[in-house]
């Protein structure tokens, strides 16, 4: 019976699909330190909103009798939050401990006694040894955007020192007790809600993560988080999907992201690793969309080139062409026949592109008559560069291999076309492609984020961007 139940349990455990990220972002100690500074500044601003209510009362004091007092217009003059260590809590979140903070306040006092004696003055309060301990969780929300929330907050006020201006010293003793109690309670009640509020205020900004970054009319990149942030004792790692999709109905490619891990570098605030998977998902999307194709006409060939897209030029390599189609202009169609494959090796990005070249003669009535179809196998090197929050790419031709797929003009030696096609690739096709690739692809980013001291390295299976970050506004 027990065994049977156990077997049922085992078969009911769902298969957990783990999704490897295409992009990983690591926030180092240095980045966390910058975050701490921003956080402390935000908390400091919030604490300025502490409101101390007016209070008044009656107190019997011998020998004068009843004394009516009121304390009004109590305002914060100054808040000091010293260096507050931040501590990562592996697996869950972040703990911020503010110790030895102080708040200075100022207010007015007023008393009335013996029916006709009135007196008033001002007072200053220094509250020292203020400590705030805030634990927060860093998670992924339902849309894959980061989200922070308060797990616990505790605040305590230590010493209170009050200095009166005006009035007699016996009065000071009377008020001190009340002021101290009232202020301590008002502060303790307000500090944590305000700190929590400052933490919650980070969310609207975090939610500007471009989980679906638009690229062009064909593609968008999904940068949603595939899991909650991985928090270790020295860094926070965000695993992002990092996948190109066709716009609209997303279609998965026939390959998935392999696992990869970042090097232990930590001299920059942030490390962003973009895997070859991300690049390959782009190649898949553009190939599928049918946009990796180009018609080449003679007007695209540099003017000074002796090679023209005419049956006369091509007739010098394949005499049948000028015999059968004398004096005609030609047109080439180059297109990929499968998704290009991108590989990252240290200091090198290579793209393997295979496709076909179809040559046509343009008849006087504009009909295209196919002459031959070649298989084209090329290897191109890519240079990757950053421009703002975008990644641009520039290609150069490495190698090109031709073979004949179909001829409509009889047998010919394919190699005789090699130089001309290489020329067309180098001087027409690649420059056109580079204009497109140079427009850049958006990196994962949140609003008003700028990169500084950025360096880009190509490593095995991914590229690594090490950078500092600055938020402008």
| Stretch binding ligand NAG (CB under 6 A), from 108-116, 145-153, 220-228, 361-369 | 361-369
Q: How would you write 375-428 as a 3-class SS string?
A: EEEEEEEEEEEEECCEEEEEEEEEEEEEEEEEECCCCCCHHHHHHHHHHHHHHH
Q: Which of 463, 466, 465, 242 shows the shortest CA–CA distance to 346?
A: 463
Q: Which is nearer to ligand NAG, 191 or 361 (CB)?
A: 361
Q: Which is nearer to ligand NAG, 244 or 360 (CB)?
A: 360
Q: What is the rounded distance in angstroms from the CA atom of residue 303 to the CA atom of residue 447?
A: 46
363 binds ligand NAG (CB under 6 A): yes
Query: Which H or E element spans position 202?
Result: helix 202-206
Q: Which of 187, 151, 152 shows the shortest CA–CA distance to 49?
A: 187
- Tokens representing 276 are 């070859």
CB atoms near residue 71 (< 10 Å): 21
- Kindly give, in sequence order, each residue whose CB lies less than 8 Å from that of residue 133, ignoring residues fewer than 6 positions away: 95, 96, 97, 98, 152, 153, 154, 155
Restricting to residues 41-100, name those near ligand NAG by CB under 6 A. none
Q: Which is nearer to ligand NAG, 62 or 365 (CB)?
A: 365
| Stretch binding ligand NAG (CB under 6 A), from 45-53, 68-76, 206-214, 362-370 | 362-370
Backbone angles phi, psi at 94, to 5 degrees: -130, 140
Q: Which is nearer to ligand NAG, 361 or 380 (CB)?
A: 361
Q: Which is nearer to ligand NAG, 218 or 408 (CB)?
A: 408
209, 229 in Cβ contact below 8 A?
A: no
CB of 327: closest distance to ligand NAG in angstroms?
Answer: 13
CB atoms near residue 429 (< 10 Å): 20
Q: What is the rounded distance in angstroms from the CA atom of residue 442 to the CA atom of residue 220?
A: 9
Q: Which is nearer to ligand NAG, 18 or 367 (CB)?
A: 367
396 binds ligand NAG (CB under 6 A): no
| Stretch binding ligand NAG (CB under 6 A), from 360-368, 385-393, 448-456, 465-473 | 360-368
CB of 367: closest distance to ligand NAG in angstroms?
Answer: 4
CB of 365: closest distance to ligand NAG in angstroms?
Answer: 4
Residues that bind ligand NAG (rule: CB under 6 A) add up to a total of 3
- What are the distances in angstroms from CA 49 to CA 42, 79, 288? 12, 11, 56
CB of 407: closest distance to ligand NAG in angstroms?
Answer: 19
Q: Which is nearer to ligand NAG, 362 or 380 (CB)?
A: 362
- Residue 389: CA count within 13 A, CB half-sphere: 17
- List the x/- string, 319-358, binding to ligand NAG by CB under 6 A: ----------------------------------------
Indicate which single residue of 18, 249, 367, 472 sits in contact with ligand NAG (rule: CB under 6 A). 367
415 binds ligand NAG (CB under 6 A): no
Write the burial class of residue 469 (CB in 10 Å: 0-12 exposed, 13-18 middle, 19+ buried): buried
Terminal Cα distance for the chain, rounded: 65
What dihedral do alpha carbons 20, 150, 446, 291 form, nearest 10°? 30
Indicate which single residue of 11, 18, 365, 411 sits in contact with ligand NAG (rule: CB under 6 A). 365
Q: Which is nearer to ligand NAG, 11 or 365 (CB)?
A: 365
Q: Which is nearer to ligand NAG, 347 or 366 (CB)?
A: 366
| Stretch binding ligand NAG (CB under 6 A), from 152-160, 162-170, 220-228, 359-367 | 359-367
CB of 366: closest distance to ligand NAG in angstroms?
Answer: 8
User: Which residues bind to ligand NAG, rule: CB under 6 A?
Assistant: 363, 365, 367
């Amino acid at each position: 019976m027990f065994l049977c139940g156990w077997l049922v349990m085992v078969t009911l455990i769902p298969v957990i699909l783990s999704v490897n990220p295409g992009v990983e972002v690591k926030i180092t100690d240095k980045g966390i330190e910058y975050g701490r500074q921003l956080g402390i500044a935000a908390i400091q601003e919030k604490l300025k909103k502490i409101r101390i209510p007016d209070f008044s009362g009656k107190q019997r004091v011998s020998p004068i009798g009843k004394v009516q007092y009121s304390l009004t217009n109590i305002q914060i003059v100054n808040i000091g939050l010293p260096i507050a260590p931040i501590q990562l809590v592996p697996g869950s979140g972040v703990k911020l401990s503010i110790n030895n903070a102080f708040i200075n306040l100022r207010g007015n006092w007023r008393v009335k006694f013996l029916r006709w004696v009135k007196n008033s003055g001002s007072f200053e309060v220094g509250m020292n040894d203020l400590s705030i301990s805030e634990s927060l969780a860093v998670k992924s929300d339902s849309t894959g955007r980061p989200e922070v929330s308060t797990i616990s907050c505790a605040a305590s006020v230590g010493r209170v020192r009050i200095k009166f201006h005006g009035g007699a010293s016996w009065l000071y003793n009377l008020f001190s007790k009340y002021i101290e109690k009232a202020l301590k309670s008002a502060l303790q009640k307000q500090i944590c809600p305000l700190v929590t509020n400052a933490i919650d205020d980070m969310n609207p900004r975090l939610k500007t993560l471009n989980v679906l970054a638009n690229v062009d009319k064909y593609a968008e990149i999904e940068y949603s988080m595939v899991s909650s942030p991985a928090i270790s004792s020295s860094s926070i790692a965000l695993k992002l999907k990092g996948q190109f999709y066709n716009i609209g109905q997303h279609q998965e490619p026939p390959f998935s992201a392999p696992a990869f891990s970042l090097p232990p570098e930590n001299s920059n605030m942030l490390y962003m690793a973009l895997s070859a998977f991300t690049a390959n998902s782009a190649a898949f999307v553009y190939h599928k969309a049918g946009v990796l194709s180009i018609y080449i006409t003679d007007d695209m060939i540099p003017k000074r080139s002796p090679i023209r897209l005419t049956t006369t030029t091509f007739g010098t390599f394949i005499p049948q062409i000028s015999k059968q189609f004398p004096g005609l202009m030609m047109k080439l169609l180059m297109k990929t026949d499968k998704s290009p494959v991108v590989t990252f090796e240290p200091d090198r990005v290579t793209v393997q592109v295979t496709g076909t070249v179809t040559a046509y003669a343009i008849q006087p009535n504009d009909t295209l008559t196919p002459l031959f179809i070649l298989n084209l196998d090329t290897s191109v090197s890519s240079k990757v560069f950053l421009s703002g929050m975008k990644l641009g790419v520039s290609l150069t031709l490495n190698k090109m291999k031709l073979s004949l797929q179909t001829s409509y003009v009889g047998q010919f030696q394919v190699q005789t076309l090699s130089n001309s096609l290489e020329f067309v690739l180098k001087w027409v096709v690649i420059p056109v492609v580079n204009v497109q690739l140079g427009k850049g692809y958006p990196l994962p980013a949140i609003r008003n984020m700028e990169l500084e001291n950025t360096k880009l390295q190509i490593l095995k299976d991914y590229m690594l961007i090490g950078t500092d970050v600055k938020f402008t506004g």
